[in-house]
Structure 1
Amino acid sequence: MTDLKDRLLDAALPHVAFDGWSEATFRAAVEDADITPAQGRAACPRGALDLALAFHARDDARMVAQIRAQDMSDMRYRDRVSHAVRTRIEIANQNREAVRRGMTLFALPMHAADGLRALWGTSDAIWEALGDTSNDVNWYTKRGTLSGVYSATILYWLGDESEGFRDTWDFLDRRIDGVMQIEKVKASARKSPILSRLMVGPNMILDRIKAPTRGPRSDLPGRWRDPS
């Protein structure tokens, strides 16, 4: 199924720049990939929407492979995060118009939830590639914070016309620096005798929050919800 979806995706990308992630693009991809409509629907039941999600997930996977192949042991942790986000955007730049069209698709109310899951998946993939071992509330805050950084940087990048996207990388560094300032404030609060006592109750609640259990990954399109 994955090979079939990759064939469809490769066939779709030349059409996305003109027709977006649309039914017209999906039909053209099925024809260009030389498969039957039934095979196309088997791989992507929701048509172009599933293709757009597959495109996003494939670039995530390429980013993870690239990061894991690099030695970043001499880099500061904030620089590793910045490098990972930059790597993801550089991969996206290979099909910039497809990314732009994807942002338009996921801005639609009926597809917003899929877009948010894709964004969260990118942040999760980055942290996993960097070896994140958090299993408490930090698991969520790290991914939520990085989702905000990544989404803001992608939007900036789509409008950036500076040489080598210099302005985008400066923007990214400022966002990362802003997050680090928040972490410094949190660390200072934990060291403060007064604030630490005030946070005893909330911390007891937060300590009960655990990272989700990792289940088997699936390459099937869409999501299954138990109707019961």
Structure 2
Amino acid sequence: MSDAQSPGTPAGDPTDALLDAALMHVPFDGWTETTVRAATEDAGIDRAVARGLFPRGPIDMLMAFHARGDRRMAERVAAASLDGLRYRDKVARAVRLRVEALEDREAVRRGMTLFSLPMHGADGTRALWRTVDAIWTALGDGSDDLNWYTKRATLSGVYGATVLYWLGDDSPGSRDTWEFLDRRIDGVMRVEKAKATMRKMPVVGQLMGLQDRVASRVSAPARRDDIPGQTDAARPSGGAE
């Protein structure tokens, strides 16, 4: 097993060892059954154990790789000193830490190729959603209404664009990527400022207030990795789990 146990991975779980071994083969064979078999052999893991961890083979291995990046990002955010930073800077720092946790550009490229296949498109969407949710959770986001969705939807665009930029960035220390990220965050903040200004306008503000009252009935999902949510009327007694 890998000496560095991934945060959130149970002790004795061979997932990290399999992922570390797989990264040696992904640049050549992609996220494929060939890679799963080679990683299983290299890591010295019983095939039945590997199949139990990745029942769908390469797509489940890729999802585990993605989840490991989320866990490592969360640990790095917890260890970072974010006190005193502006809100937008905290978001930018967390996104940067998640991108830095991607480990290997070729593994990410190959992963995006697999996610682009029609049968795995839902997995790709789920992986992205879990990542942005992990970022907001690491930053202590406590929203439980429509804002829960809008924050994650907005950050999905920022994170996805930043990863694509990073894949083609050969600047020292990925400097151009971080500048690109700052521009994207600034763009989002300008939109939020514009919305705040519009709320102060008599007619527009009233319309937005009506929209807010309707949106207030929307709640965050009971399961944190769910994309759809529910209204208060549809929520089971006792609220979200």
Fold equivalence (TM over 0.5):
yes
* More displaced 10-residue stretch of structure 1: 201-210 or 180-189: 201-210
CA contact under 8 A between 1:5 and 1:44: conserved in structure 2?
no
Q: Are 2:42 and 1:25 aligned?
A: no
Contact 1:160/1:167 (8 A) holds in 2: yes
- Percent identity, please: 60
Cα distance between partner residues in 1 of 2:182 and 2:210: 35
Larger proportion of helix: 1
CA distance in 1, matches of 2:154, 2:56: 30
- In structure 2, relative to structure 1, the CA distance for the partners of 1:215 and 1:63 (3 Å cut) is closer
2:144 to 135, 150, 156: 135
Q: Is 1:60 paired with 2:70? A: yes
Tell me if 1:13 matches 2:23: yes
Contact 1:86–1:169 (8 Å) recurs in 2: yes
Match for residue 115 of structure 2 among 106, 110, 116: 106
Residue 110 to residue 214, structure 1, CA distance change in 2 (3 Å): closer
Say whether residues 1:121 and 2:107 are aligned partners.
Answer: no
Matched residue, 2:238: none
**4+ residue segments displaced more than 6 Å:** none
The residue that corresponds to 1:201 in the other structure is 210
State the alpha-carbon separation in 2 of the partners of residues 35 and 162 from structure 1. 39
**Which residue identity does 2:50 align to in structure 1?**
G
1:189 aligns with 2:229: no
Question: Is the 1:19–1:25 Cα contact (8 Å) retained in structure 2?
Answer: yes
- Are 2:103 and 1:90 aligned? no
TM-score for both structures, normalised by structure 2: 0.85
TM-score w.r.t. length of structure 1 = 0.90
State the alpha-carbon separation in 2 of the partners of residues 120 and 126 from structure 1.
10
Q: Which has the higher contact order (CA 8 A, sep 6+)?
A: 1
Partner of 1:199, secondary structure, is: helix
Task: Answer yes or no: is the 8 Å Cα contact 1:22–1:48 preserved in 2.
Answer: yes
Does 2:96 correspond to 1:80? no
SS in structure 2 of the partner of residue 14 of structure 1: coil
What are structure 1's unaligned runs of at least 5 residues?
Answer: 217-228
Cα distance in structure 2, aligned partners of 1:96 and 1:155: 10
Please give the per-residue CA displacement for 1:78-121, whole angstroms capped at 9, x wherever unaligned: 000001111111121x3221111111111111111101111111
CA contact (8 A) 1:8 1:30 kept: yes
Among 12, 28, 45, the alignment partner of 1:35 is: 45
C-alpha distance 161-69 of structure 1, shift in aligned 2 (>3 A): same
Q: What value does the CA root-mean-square deviation take over the aligned residues?
A: 1.6
